[in-house]
Structure 1
Amino acid sequence: MLLDRLQCPACGASLRAVGSEALRCNRCDAGVPVQDGIIDFVQGRLGTILSHEAYDAEHAIDPGRVEQHYREIRDAAGDRWPATLGTTLEVGCGTGLLSRALLGHGDVGALLLTDVSTGMLATCRTALQAGGLVGHVPLLFATHSGEEAAFREGGFDTCAGTSVLHHILDVPGFLQRVFRLLRPGGRAFFLEPNARYHRAVMQALADVVAQLMARDPAPSPGRQKLFNLLASTRRAMMHQGDLPYLAGLEDKHVFVAEEIERTGRAAGFAVAEALPTGLFRSGASMVSSLCAQLDLSEALRDQVVGMMPAHAARYLPLLADRDLSPSFVLWFEKSVGPRPARFSPPPQDRDGEAFTQRAPEPAGGLPPRFSLRLLAEAEGNGTAVALSGWCIANAEVSWVRVRIGPHARSAPLWIPRPDAHAAVNAAGAFPNWTSLCCGVDERLSFPDIPPDPDGLPLIVELVMADGPVIRLKASPRLVPGEALAVTA
């Protein structure tokens, strides 16, 4: 039943089983290996930094968690949930959190489970077998990265996944492919992080950490874990939409409700909704879960979670009710018939010219504080610049940009620098969210700029997250071998 939903990734023809170790195309005779019952379309071309053993240990799945996860999705979907999900494709099944729920509740008529990792699929299958969930409906396991044209268009009633969409670089392209895989009247749903809630909670957590530092400035391993959490979260959030940069991150996206709804409709779906999974007004439950994942001591965890409601009260009341949820169920439905498309021209200025979005003005308040060090040296026939230091500003700084003549290179600003925070922001003049994770440490290559003993023409700039650029006062020349300090 499920084998006929597959196709040859090379030519699109049907596949046939050749013993237990391969599938073969009925047209071009290309082969797809089968390893221990897992069809391998990826064949090692892509991978994940996640270890299935470590992932399974860190995200241990018990029946209570499976049921809670299921109820979150079902309650958010409400009466959108059909009597049966039919033939279902699960994308990024991991170790089986969603598949255990769907099979346990009898929601699917057949289930094709996919993941980029054969290890994840094997762990998932073992868990399903241990739970007595194998043998009731047709099941098939296959590696898939989202790129291989391995599934027949219109072959599925449902496509589903949890915590998978934010790992995919090209979300619009992925949703377009999902749309084509669904039958008319089919649906897709994904449980994914809510950008606005995550930002607000992380801002509150930064305030908590800053208060802990004020009480006791001595460093600790637990506090360093919190610094790293804030830094990695802030790095991804500052660079949303910057696909070349996000390509290097495991967690690439957090989702704004209105934006992902527009993306779903643009992919062809008649219905595209971001459905909250509940109202969480203090942020404490999310932070408690994060502290558990970080393996913080019980004393530090209780301290952080206990302080969260007071600090979250500064940020979470600013959100609409829909955004008071750590996650959305992203729900998409394909219409039964053709859906009319409407195209609107861009708004016009009064003089008749098309309106152009203007860059926002730089934020007011205190000027940025920074301490940067640049050291140039020869690199092959060109020049490399070691850039290190920190920058704290009222608004978020995404990049430190170094210009040498006509060439520019940028370094992201996100590394934890509690020392800079303690030196500059002990009084709280700047947002703790920006001051705790304000460091930069990059080697920038300028292969087309040969070293010049008399110095290279230099400009240093701060690129703000919302677009404006601030030029810093620096020496007009960068002399190879001589460290240059840029401070304010």
Structure 2
Amino acid sequence: MASDPTTGTPGVEAPQTDPKPHPHATEDEVKAAYGDPKLANVLYHDWEAGTYDEKWSISYDERCITYAVDRFRAVSGGEGPYGHALELGCGTGFFLLNLMQGGVIEKGSVTDLSPGMVEVALRNARNLGLDVDGRVADAERIPYDDNTFDLVVGHAVLHHIPDIPAAMREVLRVLKPGGRFVFAGDPTNIGNFYARKLGQLTWWATTNLTKAVPVLSDWRRPQEELDESSRAAALEAVVDLHTFDPGELEGVAREAGAEQVKAVTEELSAALFGWPVRTFEAAVPREKLGFGWAMFAYRTWQRLSWVDENVLAKVLPREVFYNVSVTGRKV
């Protein structure tokens, strides 16, 4: 497991002693991870870091800049720009880097429990010419001083953190007075249920059909790649710790001391389409799916997102949508 990068004294930054990426875990390490969600997060995300952007169709162009900025504004109300922002659980830097390119953030810092993800995020920042530093860090013990940041963001990170109330208190500690946090893209209780079921059904149908029908054999990924994906999916079940009720998530933020707290949800028909599509893409050879497929998937998701926002959100309870985002301010 990654070593604790802090000195043990809240608000005091430790010397730079971050651990190195560990993308080739042993069988014994993987077995140990089943009883240690933080170790599982390190192993799984170090394993995924080099291919994560490709797996989730992450880019740093207009498509994902627009997506990130729109998600941020939908929950935050459209304020900014912010001088210095921190991203927790940064992954490859998708949310922070695209917000910076979209003019929402001027200077950035990234943290993640996975050394591999921090390494990739910093490399992406350098390639984009963005002013970003980074640390390997636990969200429950953030290695920055009190009152450091104007903004703290995260995307699809809260469901990986064992102690969310502790992390929320840390977020408020490192925010400047009046600073804002925005966490987007975490699964709701109901949304996670139907997304997982659709993903499992799509994986089963695709892998079995391409195996049983000779004419579709070219559409079957090599068995070793399918086994690798299955092992990753098994570890993924360990790192996904929470799903959320929007009202309860608001309550956690308020109990930590935040004010002006608000949770919003999005994606219903877009999620019902998107999860089978992403699972299908993971189950077939990449060379079989070209630019035309990518544009079909993206444009369809865009249209369904519009339906969700402008039609379904007006008549259905927020709890049935897939993604929940939450924002608030430090007093």
TM-score normalised according to structure 2 size = 0.66
Cα distance, 1:86 vs structure 2: 2.8
> 1:129 & 1:106 partners in 2: Cα distance?
17
> 1:323 & 1:13 partners in 2: Cα distance?
36
> Residue 163 of structure 1 corresponds to which residue in structure 2?
156
- Return the match for 1:84 from 78, 81, 95: 81
| SS at 1:148 equivalent | coil
> Residue 174 of structure 2 corresponds to which residue in structure 1?
181
**Is the radius of gyration larger for structure 1 or structure 2?**
1
Cα distance, 1:107 vs structure 2: 1.9
Cα 1:278/1:207, change in 2 over 3 Å: closer
1:414-457 alpha-carbon deviations (Å, 9 max, x no partner): xxxxxxxxxxxxxxxxxxxxxxxxxxxxxxxxxxxxxxxxxxxx
1:214-241 alpha-carbon deviations (Å, 9 max, x no partner): x99959978x97x969x969x96xxxxx
Cα distance, 1:121 vs structure 2: 2.1
| SS at 1:32 equivalent | coil
Identity of aligned residues (%): 23
**Is 1:48 the counterpart of 2:43 in the alignment?**
yes
Cα distance, 1:48 vs structure 2: 3.2
> 1:206 & 1:55 partners in 2: Cα distance?
20
Cα 1:276/1:172, change in 2 over 3 Å: same
> Residue 387 of structure 1 corresponds to which residue in structure 2?
none
Cα distance, 1:140 vs structure 2: 1.9
- Return the match for 1:287 from 276, 279, 285: 276
**Is 1:33 the counterpart of 2:33 in the alignment?**
no
Is the Cα–Cα contact under 8 Å of residues 42 and 144 in structure 1 kept in the other structure? no
Cα distance, 1:162 vs structure 2: 0.9
1:41-74 alpha-carbon deviations (Å, 9 max, x no partner): 8999963322222324434532144224314413
Is the Cα–Cα contact under 8 Å of residues 261 and 328 in structure 2 kept in the other structure? yes
1:357-409 alpha-carbon deviations (Å, 9 max, x no partner): xxxxxxxxxxxxxxxxxxxxxxxxxxxxxxxxxxxxxxxxxxxxxxxxxxxxx
- The alignment covers a number of residue pairs equal to 275
Between 57-66 and 199-208, the greater mean CA deviation after superposition: 199-208
> 1:13 & 1:323 partners in 2: Cα distance?
36
> Residue 128 of structure 1 corresponds to which residue in structure 2?
125
> Residue 247 of structure 2 corresponds to which residue in structure 1?
258
Cα 1:123/1:147, change in 2 over 3 Å: same
> 1:189 & 1:284 partners in 2: Cα distance?
26
**Greater fraction strand:** 1
Pairing of 1:48-447 with structure 2 (within 5 A): 48-50=43-45, 51=47, 52-59=49-56, 61-62=58-59, 63-77=61-75, 80-134=77-131, 139-148=132-141, 150-191=143-184, 192-203=186-197, 249-280=238-269, 283-295=272-284, 320-335=316-331
Cα 1:151/1:289, change in 2 over 3 Å: same
Q: Give the residue type in structure 2 aligned to 1:328.
A: V
Where does the alignment leave 5 or more consecutive residues of structure 1 unmatched? 1-6, 16-30, 35-39, 237-248, 310-315, 336-488
| SS at 2:239 equivalent | coil
TM-score normalised according to structure 1 size = 0.47
State the superposition RMSD in angstroms: 4.3
> 2:206 & 2:115 partners in 1: Cα distance?
43
**Greater fraction helix:** 2
1:174-216 alpha-carbon deviations (Å, 9 max, x no partner): 1122122222222111121222122134445667789999x99
Is the Cα–Cα contact under 8 Å of residues 262 and 326 in structure 2 kept in the other structure? yes
Q: Give the residue type in structure 2 aligned to 1:77.
A: V
Cα 1:12/1:118, change in 2 over 3 Å: same
> Residue 485 of structure 1 corresponds to which residue in structure 2?
none
1:259-285 alpha-carbon deviations (Å, 9 max, x no partner): 212222222212332212355267112
Cα 1:283/1:334, change in 2 over 3 Å: same
> 2:167 & 2:12 partners in 1: Cα distance?
23
Cα distance, 1:293 vs structure 2: 3.3
Cα distance, 1:171 vs structure 2: 1.2
> Residue 356 of structure 1 corresponds to which residue in structure 2?
none
